[in-house]
Amino acid sequence: MKITVLSLFPEILRGFFESSIMAKAVERGLMSCELVNIRDYAIDKHRKCDDEVFGGGAGMLMLPGPLSRALEAAGSSPCPPAGEASPEPGARKRTVFVTPSGRLFNQAMAAEFSREAELVIVCGRYEGVDQRVIDRYVTDEVSIGDYVLSSGEIAALVLVDAVYRLVPGVISGESLLEESFAASGGARAAALLEYPQYTRPALYDTLRVPEVLTSGHHANIVRWRLRESVRKTLAYRPELLAAEGLSSEVRKLLREIITEGGNDEPNTEDPGAANDGR
């Protein structure tokens, strides 16, 4: 997979692309990455890339010219003018603008992007980007959360990191199976949060690892982990348990946890009610 990131401050991104698993993935030919400085596509002598917002208001906006030229050079195709036939679905290079006003990013979106051969990501600055560039080149507007960062580089890194680790071969498929939000089928069959995990020593200070995990009893460990996943999801992200497709085992555990009052975390909602009677 190739990822191209367009930014006014590519040096913010460089360290990530040159270190850790990403560098190994590039070395192994699984990933290729390009950082593009949008300012290189400014044609005036001051290399100007921003200007005031029409209609007034605080702040500056990224100019359409330099960004459009950078996008064309990265291979993002413009959407056809009104009245002309749209290209086949998937024919346009996936071009993502990270923005707080986009669709909220999640694991399913990361998985979808990881199946693309190429991804172009645009980082905004100042008040953002002239809407005409978004309309012409951007296929997806994506937000990483309901807050405003000062620029798009960190958001782009969040996207890149969540996406490239799902590209086959980058990390072991097994490590991805029971991660948070992975609907891995079987009893789990829902995007649950991950269960708690422990490492050596089994007794740390006065704190002991749950006994079941050192018992060597595989079936009991699997059951315990599923139960803890359900408990944690109920505590922190109950809306995930209201989704379609919960296995009967998860629904049973959920009822047990709620009945026993075993969910001692802060949440008081009862998403199980949404699944009762299914």
Give me the residues that bind ligand SAM (CB under 6 A), please: 98-101, 123-125, 127-128, 143-145, 147-152, 155
Q: Is 203 helix (H, G, I), strand (E, B) or coil?
A: strand
Instruction: Report, in Å, the least distance between residue 5 CB and ligand SAM.
Output: 11
Instruction: Report, in Å, the least distance between residue 54 CB and ligand SAM.
Output: 14
**Both structure tokens of 245:** 């497709």
Instruction: Report, in Å, the least distance between residue 145 CB and ligand SAM.
Output: 5
Tell me how far apart the alpha carbons of residues 176 and 115 are, in angstroms, rounded to a whole number. Answer: 15
Residue 149 or 258: which CB sits closer to ligand SAM?
149
Residue 130 or 228: which CB sits closer to ligand SAM?
130
Tell me how far apart the alpha carbons of residues 40 and 74 are, in angstroms, rounded to a whole number. Answer: 13
Residue 57 or 216: which CB sits closer to ligand SAM?
57
| Helix then strand then coil, % of the chain, to nearest 5 | 40, 15, 45
Instruction: Report, in Å, the least distance between residue 141 CB and ligand SAM.
Output: 9
Tell me how far apart the alpha carbons of residues 116 and 76 are, in angstroms, rounded to a whole number. Answer: 14
Tell me how far apart the alpha carbons of residues 89 and 104 are, in angstroms, rounded to a whole number. Answer: 22
Residue 5 or 31: which CB sits closer to ligand SAM?
5
Tell me how far apart the alpha carbons of residues 42 and 24 are, in angstroms, rounded to a whole number. Answer: 33
Q: Which residue is nearest to ligand SAM (CB)?
A: 124
Residue 1 or 159: which CB sits closer to ligand SAM?
159
By the 8 A CB rule, do 119 and 146 touch? Answer: no
Instruction: Report, in Å, the least distance between residue 122 CB and ligand SAM.
Output: 7
